Amino acid sequence: MANIASAKKRARQAVKNNERNVAQRSMIRTTIKKVVVAIDAGDKAAATAAYAAMVPVLDRYADRGQIHKNKVARHKSRLNAHIKALA
């Protein structure tokens, strides 16, 4: 355990930051999963709505550095291509 006051503070901050990062990462995955489920069901309207809800979430966390911008672009591109391919 840390003995210096600044090290104790950093340890407290690390715990809070880790909890926040885990929650945000979970939200990112959930939004992506909602789009994938709608695509698998073949529901273009639901997939489009889920995609529209997913894009700002991914962009927001890409700007904050939670997820890499290239990964966000890759997800958006692939999922949008899948949605367009639906009948």
What tens digit of pLDDT does each residue of 39-52 get? 999 999 999 999 99
Identify the band that residue 87 occupies on the pLDDT scale cut at 50, 70 and 90.
confident
Q: What is the pLDDT of residue 10?
A: 97
Domains of the chain (ranges; CATH) run: 5-85 (1.20.58.110)
The length of the chain, given as a count of residues: 87
pTM of the full structure:
0.86
> 15 and 58 in contact (C-beta within 8 Å)?
no
Q: Which residue has the tokens 């672009």?
A: 73
